[in-house]
């Protein structure tokens, strides 16, 4: 193995750290206002975290982890070396403080010389524990957990626990990726899958008036309908209690379990091409079909229960990650912070027809996503949260978000990851995944791509969800949808 002297970290990190430090300033007394979204993610009602997991192909060197902490990670954003305080006028501010490595770098000790199966168990138990713990409010709201022991997935694992008040998934994963380099050529930036606009999102005037006007009217009424339904779902109407929704009070404080499913991105793209849909359509169809198969397995009547997936979305009008420097600019197209909204997506009910033709779930997912994508609901919800903030304050918005999560059955979020393999301080990154905590849902599903793999991370309520069986049915759903797609002639559905 290398050490810090024999194999120093890349100068890229030093340049990044010094550039951002100059941009941000180094005064310990410097303060900046806490954004409204930062406040309602850190209230008595809602305390949310984003967890990022980096799997290393080689054992993790502690000297490198500490070097990254001191010279790179703290320089990413002043919030990583700040705490929330209330000023003399009662306003919440970020206040710079001294940050000690021992307060933020956690290194658990497991028994030595054990089998991979036992280390998998120790790892799972440790992750379940830190998912429930809150970080102290008198220290910056993040931690790095260094798992030096091998598991069946990696030679070592870095876990980044980042409070949602610091930023949303886009911001925090973007910050994490800024600390990584391409394995093939560190001088080149990481690249990400392109997001080409669909014909559905083309400027209306290019479609001609007689096509544009009806579609615009239709989109308007759909938006109002979906927006109204979202308000009702957030405040009055709950999903049915089913094998995927316990409806218990305080689910966010109960133990949960993390499990992962990996699919070949090439196989997903093959299904996409055969059916003439998008990758999101395929994955959403697979997830929803797997959910219904699991529900029916546990309770034969649950396949037709009223269940909703809450899809978390970024309101940024941008297709890929920006650099930290770009996010910190005042006129940035994608500024640092929380810029999120959500959509209620009904989970299609299981029928005899869908059992015999599982592609129905993909077609239904495509239809739902296309309708939602062509509406203004996401921005109306963001506007509603802003109005509610002015009228009811941060606790009021937090209660609204909490109620929205509680009344739904599943929370789904997705992020894009790099196309090329990455390294972190000379540690080749084998795998990358994330999850979120703090909400009262029994199942949270997070999706991210990395190189040729699509990773689906399941965070499930321990003791209520049979995570092994749930994982089995999601994998089965992918298998049967893939087989059915291969037997389908190539076609393109609108």
* 430 contacts: CB under 8 Å, gap ≥ 6: 55, 56, 57, 153, 154, 155
Rg (CA), the chain: 23
Q: Angle, nearest 10°, between helix axes 62-71 and 11-24? A: 30
* Same fold? 11-182, 199-417+440-486: yes
The alpha carbon dihedral of 227, 231, 236, 239 has a sign of positive
- Count Cβ atoms below 10 Å from residue 301 Cβ, excluding itself: 10
| Per-residue confidence (pLDDT) for residue 132, from 0 to 100 | 94
50 backbone dihedrals φ, ψ, rounded to 5°: -110, 130
Q: What is the DSSP letter of 96?
A: E
CA distances for 431 relative to 138, 297, 350, 363, 494, angstroms: 33, 31, 34, 30, 35
Domain residue spans of the chain: 11-182, 199-417+440-486
| Per-residue confidence (pLDDT) for residue 216, from 0 to 100 | 61
Plot region of 131 (φ>0 → left; ψ -120 to 50 → alpha; else → beta):
alpha
Look at residues 147, 151, 146 and name the one whose alpha carbon lies nearest to residue 114. Answer: 151
Identify the residue whose tokens are 């802003």. Answer: 386
Tokens of residue 175, six digits: 């910050």
DSSP string over 14-58: HHHHHHHHHHH---TT-EEEPPHHHHHTBSSS-B-EEEEEEEESS
Look at residues 474, 45, 49, 17 and name the one whose alpha carbon lies nearest to residue 261. Answer: 474
CA distances for 45 relative to 193, 406, 410, angstroms: 37, 12, 19
| Per-residue confidence (pLDDT) for residue 72, from 0 to 100 | 67
344 backbone dihedrals φ, ψ, rounded to 5°: -85, 120
| CATH 3.30.559.30 at 199-417+440-486, yes or no | yes
- Count Cβ atoms below 10 Å from residue 103 Cβ, excluding itself: 14
Q: What would the 3-class secondary structure string for 387-437 be?
A: HHHHHHHHHHHHHHHHHHHHHCCEEEEEECCCCCCEEECCEEEEEEEEEEE
| Per-residue confidence (pLDDT) for residue 488, from 0 to 100 | 80
| Per-residue confidence (pLDDT) for residue 421, from 0 to 100 | 93
| Per-residue confidence (pLDDT) for residue 415, from 0 to 100 | 83
Q: What is the DSSP letter of 342?
A: E
* 286 contacts: CB under 8 Å, gap ≥ 6: 361, 362, 474, 477, 478, 481
- Count Cβ atoms below 10 Å from residue 283 Cβ, excluding itself: 24
Domain spanning 11-182: which superfamily? Chloramphenicol acetyltransferase-like domain (3.30.559.10)
State the 10-residue block means of pLDDT for the chain, 494 residues long: 30 37 42 76 88 93 73 74 84 87 90 95 96 92 93 94 80 73 85 57 46 58 75 86 93 94 95 92 94 94 89 58 48 50 84 82 86 73 81 86 92 87 88 93 94 95 96 97 88 48
* 315 contacts: CB under 8 Å, gap ≥ 6: 339, 340, 341, 378, 379, 382
Nearest 10 degrees: CA dihedral of 246, 283, 305, 484? Answer: -140
Q: What is the DSSP letter of 366?
A: H
Question: The pTM is what?
Answer: 0.83
84 backbone dihedrals φ, ψ, rounded to 5°: -85, 125
* 336 contacts: CB under 8 Å, gap ≥ 6: 77, 167, 171, 327, 328
| Per-residue confidence (pLDDT) for residue 314, from 0 to 100 | 58
Beta bridge partners of 422: 182
What is the Cα–Cα distance from 66 to 59, expressed in whole angstroms?
15
């Amino acid at each position: 193995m290398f050490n810090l002297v024999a194999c120093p970290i890349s100068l890229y990190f030093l340049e990044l750290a010094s550039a951002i430090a100059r941009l941000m300033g180094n005064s310990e007394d410097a303060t900046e206002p806490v954004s409204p979204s930062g406040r309602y993610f850190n209230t008595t009602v809602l305390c949310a975290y984003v967890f990022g997991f980096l799997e290393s192909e080689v054992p993790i060197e502690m000297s490198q982890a500490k070097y990254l902490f001191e010279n790179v990670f703290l320089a990413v954003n002043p919030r990583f070396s700040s705490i929330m305080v209330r000023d003399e006028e009662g306003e919440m501010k970020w206040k710079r403080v001294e940050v000690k490595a021992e307060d933020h770098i956690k290194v658990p000790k497991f028994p030595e010389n054990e089998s991979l199966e036992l280390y998998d168990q120790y790892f799972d138990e440790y992750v379940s524990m830190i998912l429930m713990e809150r970080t102290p409010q008198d220290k910056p709201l993040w931690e790095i957990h260094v798992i030096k022991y091998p598991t069946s997935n990696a030679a070592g694992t870095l876990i980044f626990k980042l409070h949602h008040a610091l930023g949303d998934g886009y911001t925090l994963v973007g910050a994490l990726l800024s600390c990584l380099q391409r394995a093939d050529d560190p001088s080149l930036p990481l690249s990400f899958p392109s997001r080409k606009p669909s014909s559905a999102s083309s400027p209306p005037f290019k479609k001609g008036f007689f096509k544009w006007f009806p579609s615009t009217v239709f989109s308007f009424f759909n938006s109002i309908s979906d927006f109204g339904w979202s308000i009702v779902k957030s405040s009055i109407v709950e999903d049915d209690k089913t094998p995927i929704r316990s409806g218990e009070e305080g689910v966010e404080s109960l133990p949960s379990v993390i499990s992962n499913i990996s699919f070949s991105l090439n196989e997903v793209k093959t299904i996409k091409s055969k059916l003439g849909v998008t990758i999101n359509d395929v994955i959403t169809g697979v997830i929803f079909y797997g959910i219904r198969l699991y529900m029916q397995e546990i309770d034969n009547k649950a396949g037709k229960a009223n269940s909703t997936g809450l899809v978390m979305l970024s309101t940024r009008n941008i297709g890929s990650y920006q650099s930290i420097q770009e996010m910190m600019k005042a006129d940035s197209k994608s500024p640092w912070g929380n810029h999120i909204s959500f959509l209620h997506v009904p989970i299609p009910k299981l029928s005899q027809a869908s059992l015999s033709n599982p592609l129905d779930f993909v077609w239904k997912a495509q239809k739902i996503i296309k309708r939602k994508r062509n509406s203004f609901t996401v921005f109306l919800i963001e506007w509603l949260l802003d109005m509610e903030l002015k009228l009811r304050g941060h606790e009021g918005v937090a209660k609204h978000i909490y109620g929205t999560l509680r009344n739904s059955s599943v929370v789904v979020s997705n992020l894009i990851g790099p196309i090329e393999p990455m390294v972190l301080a000379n540690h080749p990154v084998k795998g990358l995944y994330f999850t979120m905590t703090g909400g009262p849902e029994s199942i949270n599903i997070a999706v991210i791509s990395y190189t040729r793999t699509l990773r689906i991370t399941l965070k499930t309520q321990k003791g209520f969800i049979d995570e092994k069986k749930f994982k089995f049915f999601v994998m089965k759903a992918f298998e049967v949808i893939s087989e059915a797609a291969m037997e389908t002639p190539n076609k393109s559905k609108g």
